[in-house]
Amino acid sequence: MAAVTGLAGLVLAGCGSAQTAATAEQLPSVPGLNLSEDGLEIRNLQVPYAPEGYSTGGDVPVLMTIFNDSDQPVRLLDVDSSLGASANVVDVSAVRYPALPGQPQPEQPAPGQTVDVAFGPGEFAHITMRVNQISAPVDPAGGVPIELRFDNGVTVTVIAPIVPPLEPAERAEPENIGHH
């Protein structure tokens, strides 16, 4: 009886073994990296795709959304990268405050203004940082090391991935190599 049960288990275990899962071919709707650290949620962390990559001496943009999921205010103190001569926040494009009815909306930073990134509980912001004057090239399949330091003692060190292109690359026309 035990042999029959074991054989039945092997037969059933092999039923789907040669098939590809339905989700294996799907691309994520948000291609960046998502991570959580002590009440901070970093979503869609990414380096925009560049077909030629990023050259030594150039600058690399890094995009992300940061949510404060804690019950205390948090401030982003510093951004850094071991790949660049420096790094800085260049844009907080859409700070969102879940304002209650009747509360005024806070002012948005002006373009080019020094950006102070602070989050109350439940608040979030879309952030663009720039890694300046990179010391080595980054190819389209690579990533960029970054470090984010917050005033609550949290430091996030991660490789920001280069996201895949939104559209497939153009295919080159085949060369006529003389065959008829």
Looking at the domain covering 29-99+107-161, what would its CATH class be?
mainly beta
Q: What is the arithmetic mean of pLDDT over 46-62?
A: 93
3-state helix, strand, coil in the chain (%, to 5): 5, 40, 50
Can you tell me which residue has the tokens 């991570």? Answer: 35
Can you tell me which residue has the tokens 């150039």? Answer: 58
119-133 tens-digit pLDDT: 889 888 899 999 999
126 vs 143: CA distance, rounded Å = 20
33 vs 132: CA distance, rounded Å = 21
42 vs 125: CA distance, rounded Å = 10
% of the chain beyond a pLDDT of 70: 67
DSSP letter at 138 equals: B
Q: How many CB atoms lie within 10 A of CB 47?
A: 23
More confident residue, 17 or 176: 176
106 vs 104: CA distance, rounded Å = 6
Q: What is the pTM of this model?
A: 0.70
Cα maximum dimension of the chain: 77
Annotated domain spans of the chain = 29-99+107-161
Q: What is the arithmetic mean of pLDDT over 49-78?
A: 93
For residue 15, what pLDDT is reported?
54
141 contact partners, CB below 8 Å, separation of at least 6: 162
Can you tell me which residue has the tokens 């690399």? Answer: 60
